[in-house]
């Protein structure tokens, strides 16, 4: 074999090796990032850093901790209330037996409450108590819209049927006035409803679901009730989550999640549902920045436009104004009334 032929063979082999190396490098680069292995006796991975976002930081922030409220009672601010006159005390068992089968009228919650003997507070009726007063109510507005004429009429019929079973007499407010109140409240709620979302998008290598979960767990997120969702719990039990993080649920449920390639996660905040003292937006911003830095991503809005620091500062300023406005209207973020109205 001539020297030229040997040279061509060697050159061809080198080219082939180069192509194979290039393909391996591309495949390795595009392979979804995997979580770090966990050492026995350690919660985190090898070489794991301390969480960047301290989920307990609010304790030193100077804010008072939010306190879970008892089951919300009817309130004239956001409810139509119809007092029910009784000829005498009625048992909780009788009240429960007369209750309508559903607790909704159209898209609005329907509620019956009573004042038991020896108590001043209104409560949902319970067996074994005796009630001196009852009242029925329907919410004026929620995220499904304002109370309308049909829903008010259904409320009247449902309440009247309940009263007929107990021998009570309802006193209904004027429909037109209440429907107009519902529209006004719905207008206010629509103008002051903030549900924020950040998207963290991968710059280069994709992420596996387990990698996302490991990185989010470092920042205080815990598994949510549905696949592909993690949450930062509120500082007190019984309150809505402060933040949520979501990614493709199908990828989370795949037989081999390590092979799923995800390129984005979404951070969400329902402002009106979370107490101001939780510092929710500040923590959301910190979480997004930490994930973007540690996972080699970029923070964008829903349309894929990058969100610079200046834009985040503007959002933070506007939220402070929103918090003040809600509080002035007696609908402070995270309160029982705000959670009901913005639901």
Q: Scan for tokens 């007092």, then name that residue.
A: 83
Q: Where are the beta strands (DSSP E) in 152-212?
A: 169-170, 195-202
Averaged pLDDT of the chain: 87
Q: Scan for tokens 């620091």, then name that residue.
A: 309
Q: Per mean pLDDT, which range of 56-65, 122-131, 299-308 is the poorest?
A: 56-65
**What count of residues does the chain have?**
343
Q: Which residue has the higher pLDDT, 45 or 5?
A: 5
The span from the CA of 182 to the CA of 321, in Å, is: 24
Crossing angle for the helix pair 280-294 and 209-217, to the nearest 10 degrees: 130
Q: Where are the beta strands (DSSP E) in the chain?
A: 79-85, 90-91, 104-105, 108-116, 130-139, 141-142, 145-146, 169-170, 195-202, 222-223, 229-232, 243-246, 264-270, 297-300
DSSP string covering 270-323: EGGGS-GGG-HHHHHHHHHHHHHHHTTEEEE-TTS-B--HHHHHHHHHHHHHHH
Confidence of residue 18 (pLDDT cuts 50, 70, 90): low
Are β-strands 141-142 and 145-146 bridged in parallel, bridged antiparallel, or unpaired?
Answer: antiparallel
- Among 144, 127, 151, 135, which residue's Cα sits nearest to residue 84? 135
Domains in the chain: boundaries: 79-190, 193-341
Look up the CATH architecture of domain 193-341. Answer: 2-Layer Sandwich (3.30)
Query: Stretch 151-165: mean pLDDT, rounded?
Result: 97
Report pLDDT for 33: 78
Report pLDDT for 119: 86
Residue 271: both structure tokens together = 């402002």
| Chain segment 185-203, per-residue pLDDT in tens | 999 999 999 999 999 999 9
The span from the CA of 227 to the CA of 70, in Å, is: 30
- Residues 253, 257, 260, 263, Cα dihedral to 10°: 80
Which of 270-303 are b and which e, b meaning 16 or more Cβ less than 10 Å from the residue's Cβ?
A: bbbbbbbbbbbbbbbbbbbbbbbeebebebbeee
The answer to whether the predicted template modeling score (pTM) of the entire model surpasses 0.95 is no
pLDDT at 55 over 80: no
Confidence of residue 20 (pLDDT cuts 50, 70, 90): low
pLDDT at 21 over 80: no
Report pLDDT for 120: 85
Query: Stretch 291-318: mean pLDDT, rounded?
Result: 95
Report pLDDT for 253: 87
- C-beta contacts of 45-53 below 8 A and 24+ residues apart: 45/214, 48/218, 49/218, 51/218, 51/219, 51/220, 52/218, 52/219, 52/286, 52/290, 52/293, 52/294, 53/219, 53/220, 53/283, 53/286, 53/287, 53/290
Phi first, then psi: what are they for 327, rounded to 5°? -65, -40
Report pLDDT for 34: 72
Report the alpha-carbon angle 38-44-46, nearest 5: 60
Look up the CATH architecture of domain 79-190. Answer: 2-Layer Sandwich (3.30)
Asked, colleague to colleague, whether 79-190 and 193-341 share their fold, the answer is yes
Q: Per mean pLDDT, which range of 54-58, 109-113, 207-211, 291-295 is the poorest?
A: 54-58
Query: Stretch 238-256: mean pLDDT, rounded?
Result: 91
Report pLDDT for 16: 54
Report pLDDT for 138: 98
Q: Which residue has the higher pLDDT, 299 or 30?
A: 299
CB atoms within 10 A of CB 212: 30
């Amino acid at each position: 074999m001539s020297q030229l032929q040997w040279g061509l063979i060697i050159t061809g082999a080198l080219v082939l090796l180069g192509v194979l190396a290039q393909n391996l490098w591309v495949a390795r680069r595009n392979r979804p990032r995997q979580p770090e292995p966990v050492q026995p006796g350690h919660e985190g991975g090898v070489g794991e850093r301390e969480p960047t976002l301290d989920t307990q930081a609010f304790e030193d922030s100077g804010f008072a901790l939010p306190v879970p409220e008892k089951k919300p009672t009817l309130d004239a601010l956001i409810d139509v209330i119809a007092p029910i006159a009784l000829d005498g005390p009625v048992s909780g068992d009788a009240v429960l037996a007369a209750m309508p089968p559903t607790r909704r009228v159209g898209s609005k919650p329907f509620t019956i409450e009573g004042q038991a003997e020896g108590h001043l507070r209104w409560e949902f009726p319970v067996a074994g108590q005796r009630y001196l007063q009852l009242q029925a109510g329907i919410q004026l507005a929620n995220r499904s819209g304002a109370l309308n004429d049909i829903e008010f009429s259904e409320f009247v019929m449902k309440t009247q049927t309940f009263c007929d079973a107990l021998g009570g007499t309802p006193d209904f407010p004027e429909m037109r006035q209440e429907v107009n109140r519902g529209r006004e409240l719905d207008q206010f709620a629509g103008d002051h409803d903030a549900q924020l979302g950040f998207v963290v998008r991968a710059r280069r290598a994709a992420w596996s679901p387990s990698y996302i979960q490991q990185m989010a767990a470092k920042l205080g997120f815990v598994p949510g009730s549905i696949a592909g969702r993690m949450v930062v719990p509120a500082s007190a039990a019984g309150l809505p989550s402060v933040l949520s993080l979501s990614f493709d649920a199908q990828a989370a449920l795949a037989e081999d999640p390590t092979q799923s390639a995800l390129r984005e996660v979404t951070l969400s905040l329902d402002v009106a549902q979370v107490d101001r003292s939780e510092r929710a937006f500040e923590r959301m911003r910190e979480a997004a920045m930490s994930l973007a830095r540690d996972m080699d991503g970029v923070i964008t809005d829903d349309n894929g436009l990058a969100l610079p620091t200046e834009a985040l500062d503007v959002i933070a300023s506007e939220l402070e104004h929103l918090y003040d406005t809600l509080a002035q209207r007696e609908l402070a973020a995270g309160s029982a009334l705000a959670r009901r109205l913005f639901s």
